[in-house]
């Protein structure tokens, strides 16, 4: 599937989502509502069923309804689905540039979630032979526990890579830092 997706791909039973052409999903977890009105100061956004978090403020909104979001030149409405796990790597100038900072995982509570982080070396064609790093990350909202473990698909070569994750539970803002070395680990908040 493409990264930029029509709303109906994830919400085929939602008539309002199927009819929208002015907002889209980025992956399955981010809802983006571009501002296209000159001089606009607010934007109506339809949130499908479920809980959603404002990307900029972490304010929680119930889905199945429209919300009005104040906008300016620096703020485009972006909402994150509850249960989403969003990775952030430090900025790089090129794919093989060494990184010394931790990868941040933004975990949006409210429901269970899962994500598989895929990383290849960025310079070779080893990915064609399914040689890369797959890290499966799951969130159990009831127990407030994050599980990080190898997640390579059958037939793939999972390249074990030691790394540091900075875990950020939102909207609470709790932060923990862990070192992952390719062995299943659980972190409780």
Domain with CATH 2.60.40.1180 in the chain: 4-81, 85-188
Task: State pLDDT tens for residues 132-160.
Answer: 999 999 999 999 999 999 999 999 999 98
CATH tag, 4-81: 2.60.40.1180
CATH 2.60.40.1180 fits 85-188, yes or no: yes
Task: State pLDDT tens for residues 12-60.
Answer: 999 999 999 999 999 999 999 999 888 899 999 999 999 999 999 999 9
Range list of β-strands (E), the chain: 4-5, 24-26, 30-32, 42-47, 51-54, 60-62, 65-70, 78-81, 85-88, 103-108, 113-119, 131-140, 145-150, 157-158, 163-170, 174-180, 185-188
Answering whether pTM is above 0.75, one says: yes
């Amino acid at each position: 599937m493409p990264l930029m997706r029509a709303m109906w791909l994830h919400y085929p039973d939602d008539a309002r989502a199927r009819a929208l052409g002015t907002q889209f999903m980025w992956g399955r977890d981010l809802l983006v509502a571009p501002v296209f009105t000159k001089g606009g100061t607010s934007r109506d956004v339809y949130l499908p069923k479920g809980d959603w978090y404002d990307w900029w403020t972490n304010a929680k909104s119930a889905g199945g309804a429209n919300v009005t979001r104040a906008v300016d030149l620096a703020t485009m409405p972006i909402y994150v689905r509850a249960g989403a796990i969003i990775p952030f790597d430090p900025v790089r100038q090129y794919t093989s540039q060494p990184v010394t900072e931790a990868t941040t995982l933004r975990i949006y509570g409210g429901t269970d979630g899962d994500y598989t982080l895929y990383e290849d070396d960025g310079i070779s064609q080893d990915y064609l032979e399914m040689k890369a790093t797959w890290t499966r990350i799951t969130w159990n909202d009831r127990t407030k526990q994050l599980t990080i473990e190898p997640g390579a698909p059958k037939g793939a070569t999972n390249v074990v890579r030691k790394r540091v994750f900075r875990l950020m539970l939102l909207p609470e803002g709790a932060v923990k830092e862990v070192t992952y070395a390719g062995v299943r680990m659980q972190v409780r908040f």
